[in-house]
Structure 1
Amino acid sequence: MSHESPSRNGAFRPITPRRAVDEITAQIRERISSGEFRPGDRLPSQRDLAEQFQVSRNTVREAIASLEDIGLVTVTRGATGGAFVSLGTSSGIVTSLSDLFSIGVITPQNLREARAIVGKAAAELAAERATDLDIALLQDIVDRASAYAAKGDIAQRSEANFRFHIELARISGNPILEYLTDAVIHINRKIAARYEAPPNDIVIPFRRRLMTLIKQKRSAEAGMEMVNFLDSLANYYQTAPLLTDAARETHNSYREADKEET
């Protein structure tokens, strides 16, 4: 990360106590949007910000936490720590869309449509842009999923499949698709955790067909393969049996283990 950026246009403007956190957040966001603070730059210390804004450090701390929540800054601890302009994160989008889904503003049908649109675009671009290294990474995930399936470890197979979609979006080279995929997969994980996972004959053949299309750079066909798969998946979940509490706990424990591996 780079050194702390100077305040090129002078100190931040003092503010009144009312709505202080919102005003601090707005001013810092303005500096980030203008390019004065760029990705990787360290913001002034909490002490310096408190002096410039003429507020308490607690107020500054709350504003920084708000910026961290929406993914604009990353806070690290220790002697070399501080608040840094984010290099890119989907956390704000994930949180916002998850909350909207939880309260019913986003419906399952909305989610299904969005996942099909985003998944199709990601598959098409990945087929166009995947490097040999990208293909090797995707193939490794597919092989792991197949190995888990052969052992009857459906929870780990499912988590590997989610990882496949996330990596596919990254390979697309479009950060918007990547962030939206992260958000949609986050919600889908929660939904999938309630049900028995789809059988191998829905999931494994799709992965193999899609890998062939990506290797051959058949972009349009890769996109349609993704759409057809997601349709099959959505149809499965319409009648899928619910998991028992014990099975759900096992599924979630595998999820956490897989996160640690990756």
Structure 2
Amino acid sequence: MNQPFEPIVRRKLSDEVFDRLENMITSGELEPGDEMPSERVLMERFGVGRPAIREAMQSLAKMGLVSISHGERAKVLKLTARSIFQQVDPTAKIMLAQSMDTLEDLKSARIFFERGIVRETAQKITETDIAELRQIIERQRESLGDADAFIAADMEFHVRIARISGNPILVAVSEAMLAWLKEYHTHMLIWTGKEKYTLVEHEEILDCLSVKDADRAEAAMLRHLERSRTLYKKE
């Protein structure tokens, strides 16, 4: 039986250029910090016009592979977990704005995620870490009445717990989730006194971490996040 012919799809020149430039980066021909070849050099190397080069470079920049500054050659960037999440940040915020269910899903994901992080942290925390977390709680206490400063300290507390784990991916995920949720926390114009519960709960979490009790630390984190999830809502 005759097989149907598959149509030949012509790719855009900029897509071909993108693939080659990406390979130059991923193969190690170009390393983080290196300048990309000039547009003229790339035009001669690939036999294409300036528009194809510029479009490909913009695609690389959107992926976080290069930085483009006016009047300067593009530079290769080092990909990190944080930079990857920064690339999806605008899209994630649009997704959250479009659906109430997505916000609830994010809050549930955060609870699942932070329960695991606090268990890992309980095994690795040091006296220095404990002292730094206490300082964050004190800064948060001093910020009562200043919503922006209080929430900033709140986020710092949770990110610091993630950082103690020693896993940069966990830190990046924590920072991203908290940044996305912050959009729905700072819009609460009337404080209800619940911020004082936050301080007590943070102290309970830290007390459990101080004695390296992973089970109690997880339980304290779960109580804290289940109670505080109502603070994140769409107006």
Report the TM-score, using the length of structure 2 for normalisation: 0.75
Q: Deviation of residue 35 (structure 1)?
A: 5.6
Alignment partner, residue 184 of structure 1: 177
* 1:83 paired residue among 51, 57, 75: 75
Q: Deviation of residue 121 (structure 1)?
A: 1.9
Alignment partner, residue 175 of structure 1: 168
1:201 maps to 2:196: yes
Q: Larger Cα Rg: Structure 1 or Structure 2? A: 2
Residues 62 and 87, structure 2, Cα contact 8 Å, conserved in 1:
yes
Residues 30 and 36, structure 2, Cα contact 8 Å, conserved in 1:
no
Residues 70 and 93, structure 1, Cα contact 8 Å, conserved in 2:
no
Aligned partners of 2:131 and 2:71: how far apart in 1?
37
Residues 50 and 57, structure 1, Cα contact 8 Å, conserved in 2:
yes
RMSD: 3.2
Q: Structure 1: where are the runs of 5+ without partners?
A: 1-16, 243-262
Aligned partners of 1:117 and 1:224: how far apart in 2?
12
One-letter amino acid of the counterpart of residue 150, structure 2: R
One-letter amino acid of the counterpart of residue 156, structure 1: A
Residues 135 and 215, structure 1, Cα contact 8 Å, conserved in 2:
yes
Seq. identity, %: 25
Residues 181 and 232, structure 2, Cα contact 8 Å, conserved in 1:
no
Alignment partner, residue 45 of structure 1: 37
SS, match of residue 107 in structure 1: helix
Alignment partner, residue 155 of structure 2: 162
Q: Structure 2: where are the runs of 5+ without partners?
A: 1-9
CA displacement, residues 57-110 of structure 1 (integer Å, 9 cap, x when unaligned): 45434433333333334456787x742232412312323422322333961221
* 1:219 paired residue among 197, 214, 217: 214
- Superposed, 1:130-141 pairs within 5 Å as 130-141=125-136
Moved over 4 A (4+): 30-38, 74-79
Alignment partner, residue 65 of structure 2: 72
- Superposed, 1:101-112 pairs within 5 Å as 101-104=96-99, 107-112=102-107
Q: Deviation of residue 167 (structure 1)?
A: 2.6
Q: Deviation of residue 49 (structure 1)?
A: 3.5
User: How many pairs align?
Assistant: 220
C-alpha change, 1:211 and 1:37, in structure 2 (3 Å) is: farther
Alignment partner, residue 6 of structure 2: none
Most deviating of 216-225 and 17-26: 17-26
- Superposed, 1:86-97 pairs within 5 Å as 86-88=78-80, 89=83, 90-97=85-92
Aligned partners of 1:19 and 1:132: how far apart in 2?
57
Q: Deviation of residue 119 (structure 1)?
A: 1.6
Aligned partners of 1:194 and 1:108: how far apart in 2?
15
Q: Deviation of residue 34 (structure 1)?
A: 5.1
Report the TM-score, using the length of structure 1 for normalisation: 0.69
Q: Deviation of residue 147 (structure 1)?
A: 1.0
Q: Deviation of residue 207 (structure 1)?
A: 1.3
Alignment partner, residue 118 of structure 1: 113
- Superposed, 1:4-83 pairs within 5 Å as 19-33=12-26, 40-42=32-34, 44-47=36-39, 48-75=41-68, 82-83=74-75
CA displacement, residues 110-152 of structure 1 (integer Å, 9 cap, x when unaligned): 1111111222122222222234444343332222111112xx2
Most deviating of 169-178 and 108-117: 169-178
